[in-house]
Chain A
């Protein structure tokens, strides 16, 4: 292989250069191999084993863990809860993200400042945000109740989290939406900004109004951005943990799959089932991501 010349006349690197990529990559491969791939393989394999300090020794048990999970009503409940977390999380963050991106499309004096504030919730730890929102939701002293009462919408203090299952989930997810909307907004904004102005011009020449332009030009061409934003939100809301843990603890009425996995593994010490549930969650993530990409993504060429 030595001695060839590339089109630009450069000699292809000799022996020393051949190994360069591998040298550059070795730290990465080491890290990912040892600390990401190996643990994942371990989890995948041990999902089919009984791993439980209360029930030694570790032994092969086929689909027993999975069967137990399906029969566990709290696991089923957490799956249903998580489905709602996903719907609210993906739906609202994409909607708000699209709205914010549309408003901030145009460069203006204020855009930098507004963008800075918009990105702020994304930068803060979810746990800190949950504590702050928890205080807003507080039944006795929270500002939510206070404002609603002043507006006359409710008569007495409402307990927002813990009683109504759907209300609790929506409000907990709202805290996560607050955090991930900036990400969606930025991703969609990137897609918006890559739409060439000429297309809008052409549409206007054809007599299209604002709404028409939005429907015919913007929406179709922003689909890649929407798809990526939705997949991001999907992954984040499917894995929601911090907000649920802080605001609702282990109550089944709001438990998410990740919370349930944590409880099965650390409270019940049934690590095998914990692995099995993680595996199922991974598959669900991949399936749903592919679904979103298939439906929403369109390769765009200008």
Chain B
């Protein structure tokens, strides 16, 4: 393309700065609010750097002998377990299914694929109450397995979509070579497909995990207490009750955002690839 003139460079830098500010400002503001006292946060006009600076809010949370700290960490654990196990289950099932769709021919393939992907259009509500009824009839309400099963069923269509695209873009020659050696399709899947598509599988796993961590309305209904309530439900409840001061609340928000945030920042490459690969069709 054209060479970069000075003005163009400047305007480009400006745009990038704008984009960065837009993306990062609320998080920076949450950090700013969390590292100060209530008086500091309530100062008028607002301070852009925490003053006075204190890490007390985080100390309170890490101490976890108090009620709020306990609530938070328990919900953090719940979210991680629920999302983590749902991710594992989803990826395994989606792997097999996507392979079948991408490589095997069989009757009903088109219908099943369309049916699975069509569920992406369903509003959350179409399934919430019936799912509650189903889960309660097998006594799985407010249990990890119950929630994990519900998450998995919700994430499967997207996981399959991403992996299907990945598998479809792998050249057939690789598996053909394995077949010539006498491998069955399953062995080909294990020895060829999966290793080659590891980035795609990683991307799927990361995206599904992040989605699981962000779930709100399902656990709001399916999770009656701290045995299984994830971070989102607890944070919303604390915000609504306004008993927790805003400085502490922002600290909680920062910690709640820390896990998905770090994953997104460090494993960014996979997320980007995963989304972009899924879109080319």
Residues of A within 8 A of B (CB): 8, 10, 13, 17-18, 20-22, 24-25, 27-29, 31-32, 34-40, 42-44, 96, 99-100, 103, 106, 110, 112, 114-136, 138, 140-143, 146-147, 149-150, 178, 182-183, 186-187, 189-191, 193-194, 200, 210, 225, 228, 235, 238-239, 241-242, 245-246, 249, 258, 261-262, 265-266, 271, 274-275, 277-279, 281-282, 285-286, 289
Contact = CB atoms under 8 A, between A and B. Distances in A.
Given A127-B216, A289-B121, 18 more contacts: A8-B176, A13-B185, A21-B104, A34-B153, A40-B127, A103-B15, A114-B16, A116-B265, A123-B260, A123-B261, A123-B271, A127-B236, A128-B232, A147-B46, A178-B26, A190-B276, A277-B125, A285-B121
Nearest to B96: A24
Nearest to B265: A116
Which 5 A/B pairs are nearest by Cβ-Cβ distance?
A35-B153, A123-B264, A39-B130, A190-B276, A125-B214
A22 to B, nearest CB: 7
B93 A246 contact: no
A186 B272 contact: yes
A265 B268 contact: no
Nearest to A122: B264
State the main secondary structure of chain B at its contact with A.
helix
B175 to A, nearest CB: 11
B19 A103 contact: yes
A296 to B, nearest CB: 14
B84 to A, nearest CB: 15
Contact of B123 (A147, A245, A258): A258
Interface string B251-281: 0010011001101110011011001110110
Interface in B172-192: 176, 179-180, 184-186
B160 A28 contact: yes
B263 A146 contact: no
B150 to A, nearest CB: 7
A114 B246 contact: no
Question: How large, as a class, is the contact surface on chain B?
Answer: 35 or more
A44 B130 CA distance: 11
Contacts of B45: 146, 149-150
A116 B264 contact: yes
Contacts of A127: 214, 216, 232-233, 235-236
29 contacts: A21-B106, A25-B96, A28-B93, A28-B94, A31-B152, A32-B153, A103-B15, A118-B19, A120-B264, A124-B260, A124-B261, A125-B213, A125-B214, A125-B215, A125-B256, A128-B231, A130-B236, A134-B239, A187-B276, A189-B276, A190-B279, A210-B2, A235-B120, A242-B217, A242-B232, A242-B236, A258-B124, A274-B125, A278-B125
Q: Indicate the member of B44, B125, B217, B268 with the most A CB atoms within 10 Å.
A: B125
Interface in B138-153: 149-150, 152-153
Interface stretch (B51-59, B62-70, B109-117, B194-202): B109-117
B125 A262 contact: yes
Contacts of A10: 176, 179-180
B153 A187 contact: no
B7 interface: no
A174 to B, nearest CB: 10
A194 B121 CA distance: 26
A55 B125 CA distance: 22
B41 interface: yes
A62 to B, nearest CB: 20
Nearest to A241: B217
Contact of A282 (B2, B16, B122): B122
Given A43-B130, A110-B16, A35 B150 contact: yes
B16 A103 contact: yes
B122 A40 contact: yes
Interface in B117-173: 119-127, 129-131, 134, 149-150, 152-154, 156-157, 160
Q: Indicate the member of B126, B213, B235 with the most A CB atoms within 10 Å.
A: B126
Contacts of A38: 130, 134
Contact of A123 (B115, B156, B263): B263
A245 B236 contact: yes
B111 to A, nearest CB: 11
A86 B39 CA distance: 39
A19 B12 CA distance: 56
B100 A25 contact: yes
B7 to A, nearest CB: 12
B123 A238 contact: yes
B29 A136 contact: yes
A104 B97 CA distance: 34
A39 B210 contact: no
Given A31-B153, A258-B125, A274-B125, A194 B253 contact: no
